[in-house]
Amino acid sequence: MFEMEKWAQTRLFSSCKFLTPFYGRSIAGLALLKDVWGPDNRDMLILTYGGELASHPSGISSALDHMEKSGAAGIVLARDSMDKAAVDVLARECERRSLILAEMTDSISFVDFIREFYNYMPCAATGELCSYGEIFQRFQSAFFTHGLDRLLKELHDWTGRQTALVVGQDTYVHPRTPILDPVIFYPVYWQKESARSPFVHVRRYTAAQPPIYILQADLYKNSLPFGMLFLIGNGEKFKETDYYLLNYASILCTGLSDLNLRSRQIAALFAKIRRENTLTGPELELLPEEGNALVLQEFHNALPGTAVTGAEDYLAYLLHYHFPRNLCYSFKDNELLIFISTEDVENFVRKLTALLNTTGRQYHVGISRKYNRSQVVTAFSEATHAVKMAGLLDYGQTPCHFHQLGIYRLFTYPENPWAVNQMLGEMDVLLNVLDNEKKDILTLTVRTFVKNNFSYQKTADELFTHVNTVRYRIHQLEELWNVDLSSTEGRLLFSVLSKLLPLWMQEFYNQQSGQSGGEER
């Protein structure tokens, strides 16, 4: 619906002369005089020739009364179809009924006038009226002069809808609030509507809970899709004009296949970090000059298995929404890697885990010491070690700092051929000769023995057993592992074993169980 004051300022009405005030009227459409004798002409402008109006069987006065009662906005009179005196009389009669009277002064025909009328649309933000051609020119200027953000703003202003562009893990939204509903990132929840679209690659969807309407345009390059442009209506359906504006904006965005170039460069950088021992090169400039490496590994996922597609896109959007867009991160296999420069890494992790919890996902968190970006591989090695220990030591979502691990910094992984792992493996093999019950009892005894500072009596008291039984068990372990507890070196070795061996056994058998499970499948 057009506000008359706005429409009168358009190029279309430069061919009209207004003989009455506008009365604050809105214009919903145009109708010919012969078609307006029904009960409802709400906010319609009536197009007619003076002779046609004057010769009407019920007379001009009766015709005007009917227009007033049926809600018509007014009349557009063809040029030179009535003499000046008759037009003046008609103007007074229209003004008495608060009807608009406009007279065409140029050679434009009703056909041209109708065609032009339906080529105009109002701006949802300002009410300004422009033709499609003028709006498309504004879109072009916004995009090529000011970039993507301005194009999304123009699309939002003219449609009144929240706009979003999703390219890979990058999401651009205008306005940023309200925050996008997660359903937008999970196509499994969408239902395609039967309404026909004037464009093949523009489709309308709905999501029932909550009621959201999504108008989606696919972005293509070389016939391959690389992103999606959305209009989002919360509980409101789309107008025909929305299809045309979204379609044109998507055409402009077609050249944006490199829009997520930075995020793809970061993904490649993190892939190198995962597989290289050292890293040099200009790609390191993508990272802050110094910072902490964070590794988050998911240990609980409340989302249904059918909704996995889109999860990383949604989490990436949340990271962009709540943190700076230049945050350096990477998702892979339910693992999130971040290199962050902050003076308060604990506060950052608190906000991050709270954000992830809102999606039903829980993560162990490992944090490295602060490093220069040239040492980023070392930083992520520490963070990976810390998050592994967070899982083994049941940290839950409490951050595990590498520098606070103490003796556990020596514990790596069974597959690494380090001396400490070889020693743990050999001792584990010797324990496996025993039956499970005896192995568990001996392991518990040595841990309790070390915890009580090698006191046989305190160990016996804690285990509710006789002190001679404890002496016998410890003697068995001394013989099994060829260790002399009368020496300082022997006691130090037992101290290390009491910390590392249970974790070695837990990690090693977890891996063995996973491998056997994979073989069965």
Q: What spatial distance separates the first Cα and last Cα of the chain, rounded to whole Å?
A: 62
Residues in Cβ contact with 303 at an 8 Å cutoff, skipping those fewer than 6 apart: 311, 359, 360, 361
Using CA atoms, how far apart are residues 430 and 345, in angstroms rounded to an integer? 43
Cβ burial of 365 (10 Å; 0-12, 13-18, 19+) is buried
At 400, which CATH number? 3.30.70.270
- Asked if residue 405 and residue 293 are part of one domain, the reply reads yes
Three-state SS sequence of 94-162: HHHCCCEEEEECCCCCHHHHHHHHCCEEECCCCCCEEEHHHHHHHHHHHHHHHCHHHHHHHHHHHHCCE
**Boundary-marking domain end, from 220, 253, 286:** 253
Peptide bond just before 210 cis, omega within 30 deg? yes
Domain-located, residue 193:
yes
Torsion of CA 419, 423, 425, 430, to 10 degrees: 160
Of 98-107, 142-151, 206-215, 361-370, the one with minimum mean pLDDT is 206-215
Mean pLDDT to the nearest integer, 230-239: 84
Tokens (6 digits) for 466: 């006789």
Beta carbons of 509 and 419 less than 8 angstroms apart = no
Judged by DSSP in three states, 371 sits in strand
Mean pLDDT to the nearest integer, 393-401: 88
Say if residue 182's pLDDT is above 90. no
Mean pLDDT to the nearest integer, 111-135: 87
Query: In this predicted structure, what is the pLDDT of residue 34?
Result: 84
Query: In this predicted structure, what is the pLDDT of residue 140?
Result: 94
- Asked if residue 313 and residue 235 are part of one domain, the reply reads no
- The H-or-E segment that residue 420 falls in is helix 419-432
Mean pLDDT to the nearest integer, 419-440: 74
Phi, psi (degrees; rounded to nearest 5) at 290? -150, 160
Determine the longest span between alpha carbons in the chain, in angstroms: 128
Say if residue 108's pLDDT is above 80. no
Residue type, 173: V
Strand ranges across the sheet with 328-332? 328-332, 335-340, 290-301, 361-372, 400-401
- Domain of 81 in residue numbering reads as 2-118
- Asked if residue 377 and residue 238 are part of one domain, the reply reads no
- Asked if residue 231 and residue 149 are part of one domain, the reply reads yes
At 180, which CATH number? 3.30.450.40
Say if residue 416's pLDDT is above 80. no
Using CA atoms, how far apart are residues 398 and 394, in angstroms rounded to an integer? 9
Residue type, 410: L
- Asked if residue 142 and residue 45 are part of one domain, the reply reads no
**Boundary-marking domain end, from 60, 89, 118:** 118
- Asked if residue 399 and residue 441 are part of one domain, the reply reads no
Say if residue 444's pLDDT is above 80. yes
Say if residue 264's pLDDT is above 70. yes
Query: In this predicted structure, what is the pLDDT of residue 78?
Result: 87
- The per-residue b/e assignment along 199-229, b for 16 or more CB within 10 angstroms, e otherwise, is eebbbbbbbeeeebbbbbbebeeeeeebbbb
Closest among 160, 159, 164 to 241, alpha carbons compared:
159
Q: What are the DSSP calls for 183-212, one per residue? A: GGG-GGG-EE-----SSTTEEEEEETTTTE
Domain-located, residue 124:
no
Domain-located, residue 519:
no
Judged by DSSP in three states, 510 sits in helix
Say if residue 346's pLDDT is above 50. yes
- Asked if residue 112 and residue 134 are part of one domain, the reply reads no
Please report which confidence band the pLDDT of residue 361 belongs to, taking 50, 70 and 90 as the band edges.
confident
Mean pLDDT to the nearest integer, 436-452: 84
- The H-or-E segment that residue 2 falls in is strand 2-3
**Boundary-marking domain end, from 410, 433, 461:** 410
Beta carbons of 102 and 9 less than 8 angstroms apart = no
Domain-located, residue 518:
no
Query: In this predicted structure, what is the pLDDT of residue 91?
Result: 93
Look-up of token digits 């290199």: 339
How many other C-beta atoms can be found within 10 angstroms of the C-beta atom of residue 105? Answer: 12
At 75, which CATH number? 3.40.1390.20
Domain-located, residue 40:
yes
Using CA atoms, how far apart are residues 473 and 67, in angstroms rounded to an integer? 106
The gap from C-alpha 217 to its chain's centroid, in whole angstroms, comes to: 17
State how many domains the chain has.
4
Using CA atoms, how far apart are residues 193 and 182, in angstroms rounded to an integer? 20
- Asked if residue 390 and residue 432 are part of one domain, the reply reads no
- Asked if residue 268 and residue 196 are part of one domain, the reply reads no
Domain-located, residue 243:
yes
Domain-located, residue 268:
yes
- Asked if residue 401 and residue 287 are part of one domain, the reply reads yes
pLDDT in tens, 128-180: 888 898 999 999 999 999 989 999 999 999 999 999 998 877 889 999 988 88
Tokens (6 digits) for 330: 């990477």
Q: What are the DSSP calls for 452-489, one per residue? A: TTT-HHHHHHHHTS-HHHHHHHHHHHHHHHT--TTSHH
pTM, entire model:
0.70
- Asked if residue 311 and residue 236 are part of one domain, the reply reads no
Mean pLDDT to the nearest integer, 418-447: 76
- Asked if residue 241 and residue 152 are part of one domain, the reply reads yes
Please report which confidence band the pLDDT of residue 519 belongs to, taking 50, 70 and 90 as the band edges.
very low
Three-state SS sequence of 306-337: HHCCCHHHHHHHHHHHHCCCCCEEEEECCEEE
